[in-house]
Amino acid sequence: MACYAMVASGIAYAAQDEVPPSKALWVLTLDGVVGPATADYVSRGIRDAAAGDASAILLNINTPGGLDQSMRQMISSVLASPIPVICYVSPSGARAASAGTFLLYACHVAAMAPATNLGAATPVSIGGPISPAPDEGNEPQPPQGGTAMERKVTNDAVAYIRSLAELRGRNADWAEKAVREGASLSAKAAQALGVIDLIAANEEELFATLSGKAIDVKGQTVVLDLAQAPRFRVDPDWRSDFLAVITNPNVAYVLMLIGLYGLIFEFTNPGFGVPGVLGAICLLVALYAFQILPVSYAGLGLVLLGIGLIAAEVLMPSFGVLGVGGLVAFVVGSIILMDTDLPAYQIALPVIAALAVTTGALLFAVLGMAWRAHQRPREYRAGPDKEHCVTIEQVYDGQVLARFEGELWSVRCPDPLQVGDRVRVHEIDGLTLVVDKLEA
């Protein structure tokens, strides 16, 4: 049903106003965490609007922030746009935090609805100490604590947002403060400090205020005339919905495990087909999601090592050494798999716990069967109608070994034995075959 709904939404998207009106105002909506799916949706929307002879793009945003890579992808699309991009934080109660602040600074026009806010743009992955607020009239100072990497990340973000502020003629000092100190502003305060261009209660008021405004777009002056422009709203299509699903860290994580377990099952039971095909598809989709997610390769390596050790335990029982070590590596790798502090891009601990418990239960079931098989007494008596004859394979230091039922056994015989001698098994004493030597 989920696949059907996604296909149906894609058909509906393709069917809706395939050819938008000329000089239309394209309306995009960024609502939620900034990630690969939203970056793809906004970037494609800007590119399609430029190709569709749009007069301008309205980007409604309400976001708590998100991934740095996705944010920069959207900003690059905004900066390369040949038509004006108007960023509007709406409706009332919305926010443009963290990555949203960067995006707001990048757009040609920055507007906010009443009772909205922006700021708190400190890179969340560094988590270093924040410097105290600077005195009035003084430049904000960089944090004194933190590692060299934390300072590099902060300085890079400061330089990036200051360059956007200088490009659009907005308050660069406050932008730096938002990054270094996590400062936030209300809509009225942002307008007073020159962070945004205007406040509008709704889209109609926004367009009326912007009518006749001259905007510099890549060195050319464009006069906005939006009051009478036809509207063309672009909602996320099936591709964006599909990307949003597979780039959910929990979904990508489960897909990876399904893929690995499917391939392991296929390799150990060749000829069935379905587990191998399904596993390969799931694994490739998971790897595609991981290459656009902030993945820790140390965590990924530990997960793969853990699954490998667990598989080795199942195939060649070591009575817990490989299995327990693999389970520990699997859990630790799963916890550190996502290299970010954003809650929206962390693997949920209940998911990790559920999969670890399931894997552990399977592992201990296998270990239990191996232990019972090991403890089961071996009784063997050769009858007149059933004789087992084996060949001596190894003789060294008084130890004689022969292969019986696929395994090497110690051999006890009253007669001296050499490699190649044929013997008949007539009893099993513990782990030793009691044999009689056969004449050549």
Output the tens digit of pLDDT for each of the chain's 440 residues: 333 333 334 433 433 445 778 889 999 999 989 999 999 999 999 999 999 889 999 999 999 998 888 999 999 999 999 999 999 999 999 999 999 999 999 999 999 999 999 998 888 654 333 344 444 344 444 444 467 878 888 999 999 999 999 999 999 999 999 999 999 999 999 999 999 999 999 999 999 999 889 998 988 888 988 878 899 999 888 888 888 899 899 999 999 989 988 887 787 776 667 888 898 999 999 999 888 888 888 998 999 898 888 878 777 766 667 878 888 998 999 999 988 777 778 888 899 999 888 877 876 776 666 666 655 555 554 444 456 788 888 887 778 888 887 778 888 888 888 888 888 888 888 778 888 888 76
Residue 136: the pLDDT is 39
Classify residue 278: in a domain, yes or no.
yes
CA 434 to chain centre: 60
* pLDDT score at 373: 61
Neighbouring C-beta atoms of residue 7, cutoff 10 Å: 12
**Euclidean distance between CA atoms 423 and 433, whole angstroms:** 10
Which tokens belong to 334? 């799963």
Q: DSSP assignment, residue 49?
A: H
Sign of the CA dihedral 52, 57, 60, 63? Answer: positive
Q: Are residues 368 and 421 in the same domain?
A: no
Tokens for 163, please give them. 């360059």
Tell me if 4 sits within 8 A of 238, measured CB to CB.
no
> What's phi and psi for 323, nearest 5 deg?
-65, -50
Give the N- to C-terminal CA distance of the chain in Å, as an integer: 72
- Record the tokens describing residue 366, joined without a space: 């296998």
Residue 16 three-state SS = coil
In this structure, the answer to whether residues 75 and 194 fall within a common structural domain is yes
How far apart CA 307 and CA 337 sit, in angstroms, is 14
Asked if residue 277 and residue 229 are part of one domain, the reply reads no
d(CA 152, CA 147) in angstroms, rounded, equals: 9
Cα distances (Å, whole numbers) of residue 404 to 5, 315, 412: 59, 20, 13
pLDDT of 262 reads: 85
pLDDT at 399: 85
Residue 44 covered by a domain: yes
CB 289 within 8 A of CB 265: no
The predicted structure's pLDDT at residue 124: 65
**Domain shared by 101 and 189, yes or no:** yes
At 319 the pLDDT is: 66
Within this chain, do residues 368 and 320 fall inside the same structural domain, yes or no? yes
| 381 in a structural domain | no
Distance CA 221, CA 440 (A): 105
β-strands 109-112, 95-97 pairing: unpaired
CATH number of the domain that 420 lies in?
Answer: 2.40.50.140
Q: Are 129 and 123 in contact (CB under 8 A)?
A: no
CA dist 187 and 224 (Å) reads 23
Closest CA to 122 of 182, 183, 71: 182
408: containing domain: 388-437
Domains of the chain: total = 3
Q: Among candidates 245, 244, 250, 247, which has minimal Cα distance to 349?
A: 250
141 belongs to a structural domain? no
Strands (E), 370-420: 388-396, 399-404, 407-412
* Residue 421, CB-side half-sphere exposure with 13 Å CA sphere: 19
Claim to verify: residue 212 and residue 246 sit in the same structural domain: no
Same domain for 109 and 34: yes
- Both structure tokens of 376: 């089961």
Give yes or no: residues 415 and 427 share one domain: yes
On whether both 209 and 334 belong to a single domain, the answer is no
Largest CA distance in the chain: 112
Q: Which of 375, 399, 428 is the last residue of a domain?
A: 375
